[in-house]
């Protein structure tokens, strides 16, 4: 007597399989985005936290943008500052980015830093007069960051040891003498960091940067 044959997989139409797959993946995605939630939940989870597409990206759009690394190289700044002019007059990076030799952050100059020189120099220019007015009113420049890391990159960077290791500012920030307002001249991917660390025989342990 022959055993009853099990139905072959071909008995499931392909569209049904595809549909099942999509439903399963969508459910899994929802579960991952907000664990313990019924699927198809609202934008915010039970705990009031924003929904996520993946842990690193809030939405699918963010993930795609990040994958193709499409973000503008220029960042709008509140003040029309020119690196080119300052460097051509003999100023050096550390004059304004004073923290760079001491600690993790190079620091973005505030109005008072500008006025150290500009209370005397080029006081007739409209931009400088604007600065003077800002200082009198107690306002400050809120610069926008040009180089930054996604918080999800978990990268900790410290400027000081790099300066001590004689890494030129231009290695990571491009030739500022050619730039007016700073733009992202160098794309700081992980391989950019790792290659330089290899060359200089610096530590390439994960905990060097990620913690």
Partner 1 sequence: MAYRWGMAVDLDKCTGCEACVTACHAENNIPTVGSQQAARGRAMHWIRVERYYEGNFPDVRVKFRPVLCQQCDNAPCEAVCPTYAAHQNEDGLNAQVYNRCIGTRYCANACSYNVRFFNFFNPEWVKPLNLQLNPDVSIREVGVMEKCTFCVQRIKAAKITAKAEDRGLVDGVLQPACAQACPTTALIFGDLNDPNSRVARLSHSPRGSKLLEDLGAEPKITYLDKQPWHEPDTY
Q: Residues interacting with partner 1, by CB under 8 A?
A: 32, 35-36, 45, 47-50, 52, 54-56, 104, 151-154, 156, 158, 160-161, 164, 203, 205-208, 210-211
> Within 10 A of 132 (CB to CB), how many other CB atoms are there?
15
Q: How far is 100 from 93, CA to CA, in rounded Å?
A: 9
Could you give the CA distance from residue 64 to residue 66 in angstroms, rounded to a whole number?
5
Query: In the numeric block, which tokens belong to residue 178?
Result: 């050619």
Judged by CB, which is closer to partner 1: 199, or 205?
205
Query: Closer to partner 1 at the Cβ: 72 or 151?
Result: 151
Q: Smallest distance, Å, CB 34 to partner 1?
A: 8
CB nearer to partner 1: give 55 or 90. 55
Instruction: Rank residues 52 and 128 by Cβ distance to partner 1 and give the closer one.
Output: 52
- Whole-angstrom Cα distance, residue 180 to residue 200? 31
CA atoms of 161 and 94, how far apart (whole Å)? 15
> Minimum Å distance from CB 161 to partner 1?
5
Tell me the two tokens of residue 196: 């330089």
First-to-final CA distance of the chain: 66
| Shortest distance, position 112 Cβ to partner 1, whole Å | 23
Minimal distance, residue 49 CB to partner 1, in Å:
4
Q: How far apart are CA 147 and CA 149, in angstroms?
A: 7
Q: What distance lies between CA 177 and its chain's CA centroid?
A: 23
CB of 83 to partner 1, least distance (A): 26
Pick between residue 128 and residue 202 the one whose CB is nearest to partner 1.
202
């Amino acid at each position: 007597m022959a055993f009853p044959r099990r139905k072959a997989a071909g008995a499931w139409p392909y569209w049904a399989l595809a549909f099942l797959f999509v439903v399963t993946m969508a459910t899994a995605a929802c579960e991952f985005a907000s664990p313990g939630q019924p699927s198809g939940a609202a934008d915010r989870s039970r705990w009031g936290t924003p929904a996520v597409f993946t842990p690193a990206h809030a939405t699918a759009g963010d993930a795609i943008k990040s994958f193709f690394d499409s973000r503008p190289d220029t960042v709008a700044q509140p003040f029309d500052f020119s690196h080119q002019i300052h460097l051509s007059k003999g100023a050096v990076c550390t004059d304004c980015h004073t923290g760079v030799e001491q600690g993790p952050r190079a620091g973005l100059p505030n109005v008072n830093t500008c006025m150290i020189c500009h209370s005397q120099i080029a006081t007739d220019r409209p931009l400088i007069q604007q600065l003077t007015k800002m200082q009198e009113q107690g306002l400050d420049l809120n610069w926008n960051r040009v180089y930054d890391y996604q918080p999800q990159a978990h990268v900790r960077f410290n400027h000081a040891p790099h300066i001590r290791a004689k890494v030129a500012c231009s290695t990571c920030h491009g030739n500022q003498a050619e730039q007016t307002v700073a733009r992202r001249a160098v794309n700081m991917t992980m391989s950019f960091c790792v290659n330089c660390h290899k060359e200089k025989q610096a530590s390439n342990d994960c905990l060097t940067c990620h913690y």
